[in-house]
Chains A and B, each alone.
Chain A
Amino acid sequence: MMLSPQTLKTPLIQFEGVAVDYGRGPDRVRALEPTSLAVSEGDFVALVGPSGCGKSTLLKLAAELLQPSAGFILFGGRELGAKPVRVGMAFQSSTLLPWMTIRDNVMLPLKIVPPFRQHYRAKRRGEYRDKVDALLAQVGLRDFADSYPWQLSGGMMQRANLCRALIHEPDLLLLDEPFGALDQFTREELWGTLQELWMATTTTVILVTHDLREAAYLANRICVMSPRPGRILEDRVVSFERPRTVEMTYEPDFVSTIQHLRSMIVHSPKESPK
């Protein structure tokens, strides 16, 4: 594996030879080849690669939804799970709860995640409400706090979804194709929103995406993964200056980066299943 400059600093989260198998015995299927990846604090890493290559598996490992079959994961130098890690997560489907207003949906993590949950009853009508409203205003949903999810468009729902993933100030923001179901224009708009949110916080982001333009627009680093069973083929730093704009994605440097990534994925070696 290649060493990127980021791995030289103390990483926030570090995967060391992590492999994942699904099933047992003869039905065992390897989902992720031993993979090492280090993400430093405040970084924005995109994972790209063909479907089923284990990108989402890596995210689930980071969120402790899965346990690795081999290898280990360190968080802040200690084994993951040793102390609670605050994680925010967002998926392609917004999974907003239909019986709650947007404000209550975004407030949900404050009801669940410590240390916020200890003060939830006391602060939900004051401090927390203001906190949620401020974040909603930041993504342009100020006037929709009292609306219900089904009254919003797909793009607005994903904005609210991002807010829900960020409201509890997570150490790690995990995004699994959050804009996959949106149309091109809405998607580009949301890139801008996400970039703004990220630049305003110190959150470390791991983004899984199929969209190479999206990866190059948003991320500091792009890791290209091979087809199943996945492993990281290339770890590439993207150093375009920020804030980035959609216009920049049509400039020659940007386009050649994307073409390079694309050829990596298209011509990646097809391994015979073990």
Chain B
Amino acid sequence: MMASIRRRAASISLIIGLFVFWEVAVMAFGISSLILPRPSEILSTLYARGPAIWPHAKQTLYTTLMGFSIGVMIGLSLGTLIGSSRLAYDTAYPLLVGISSIPKVAVVPIFVLWFGAGTVPAILTAMIICIFPIVVNVATGLATVEPELEDVMKSMKASKLDILWNVALPRAMPYFFASLKVSVTLAFVGSVVAETVASNRGVGNMMMIASASFNVPLVFAGLFVLATMGVSLYVIFSLIERRVVGWAMRKDGAV
């Protein structure tokens, strides 16, 4: 208990320390707020422009979560398919690696071409960027069932579906949740990139316009908003993970 408080205290003081250092350094070296605004400036901008920022934040959160949800559904089904069938693995994996190695920024113009600028390309970009980690993790979790456990199940004449449902999928859940935490932050990257390139709404678009008019504190305020949303979602999924697959993290005493 004491140890965990001390650990947490250390990480909190590092974050606070970083901001203090930033504030002091900017003042000490007289850096213009056109280049690097002070944290206090950014916070006051956040407060003053809050009502204007809020719709953008809502839009970004919406496209991210939509893309993420669709991505999770597709990723989970693809991962299950690939992880439980050798044939599907051999057939689909090379294609999947190929698709995942394309920089996702590069597909935004295509989505814009197909669906026009706005919400849809942002959702699709968020979706496509978060599928791959989920597929790989779920497939790995499914494919690494201990052979002895499989023998026990097969000796009971369990069907493939029985094994998948009772053993393989629950066993893959820790992998799945680990990938969710990665994917949800990646989904933000996807939606913000798409908003920056082609949208008239969203935090990405707001930062784009702010930087064009040299409103640098607002650009940084956008960054803060993104960081806050990203961290919040990460924390939410960590908490869900703890509840659902606590059995895999017994060292923390969570059951």
What residue of chain A has the Cβ atom nearest to residue B167's Cβ?
A97
Docked pose: A47 CA to B171 CA in angstroms: 33
- Closest Cβ of chain B to A88, distance in Å, is 8
Q: Quick one: CB contact mask for B140-161 with A, threshold 8 Å, 1 for yes?
A: 0000001011011111111000
Given contacts A84-B157, A98-B247, A174-B155, contact A108 B148 (CB under 8 A): no
Residues of chain A in range 61-89 having any CB-CB distance to chain B below 8 Å:
63-65, 84, 87-89
In this complex, what residue of A is CB-closest to B250? A150
Is A91 close to B, CB under 8 A? yes
Residue of B nearest to A114 (CB): B157
In the complex, which residues of chain A have a beta carbon less than 8 angstroms from the beta carbon of B197? none
Interface size on B, residues (CB 8 A): 22
Interface size class of A (residues with CB under 8 A): 20 to 34
Of B151, B162, B166, the residue contacting A91 (CB under 8 A) is B151
Does A87 contact B156, Cβ atoms closer than 8 Å? yes
Q: Collect the chain B residues with CB atoms within 8 Å of residue A98's CB.
A: 247-248
Contact B157 A99 (CB under 8 A): no
- Chain A residue nearest in CB terms to B170: A99
Interface presence of A109 (CB below 8 A): yes
CB contacts (< 8 Å) of B155 on chain A: these are 63-65, 87-89, 174
CB distance from B99 to the nearest CB of A (A): 32
Kindly list chain B residues whose C-beta atoms are within 8 Å of the C-beta of A111: 166
Whether A99 touches B154, Cβ cut-off 8 Å, given contacts A111-B166, A112-B166, A148-B255, is: no
> A60 to B150, alpha carbons, bound, how many Å?
12
Q: If the complex has contacts A99-B170, A111-B166, are A93 and B148 also in contact, measured as CB distance less than 8 A?
A: yes
Q: Known contacts A65-B154, A112-B166; is A95 also within 8 Å of B146 by CB?
A: yes
Let me know if A159 is at the binding interface, CB within 8 A: no
Which residues of B are found within 8 Å of A228, using beta-carbon distances?
A: none
Which residue of chain A has its CB nearest to the CB of B173? A99
Decide yes or no whether B245 CB sits under 8 A from chain A. Answer: yes
Q: How far is the CA of A174 from the CA of B155 in the complex (A)?
A: 10
In residues 89-135 of chain A, which contact B (Cβ within 8 Å)? 89-91, 93, 95, 97-99, 108-109, 111-113
Given contacts A99-B170, A112-B166, 20 further A-B contacts (CB under 8 A): A60-B151, A63-B155, A65-B151, A65-B155, A88-B155, A90-B152, A91-B148, A93-B148, A95-B146, A95-B152, A97-B149, A97-B167, A99-B173, A108-B166, A112-B157, A113-B156, A148-B247, A150-B250, A164-B152, A168-B156
Please report B residues at the A interface, Cβ cutoff 8 Å: 146, 148-149, 151-158, 162, 166-167, 170-171, 173, 245, 247-248, 250, 255
User: A residues near B, CB below 8 A?
Assistant: 60, 63-65, 84, 87-91, 93, 95, 97-99, 108-109, 111-113, 148, 150, 164, 168, 174
A-B pairs with beta carbons under 8 Å apart, 15 shown: A63-B151, A63-B154, A64-B155, A65-B155, A84-B157, A87-B156, A91-B151, A95-B146, A97-B167, A97-B171, A98-B247, A112-B153, A112-B158, A113-B156, A148-B247
Pairs of residues from A and B, 7 with the lowest C-beta to C-beta distance, nearest first: A63-B155, A89-B155, A95-B149, A99-B247, A91-B148, A87-B155, A112-B156
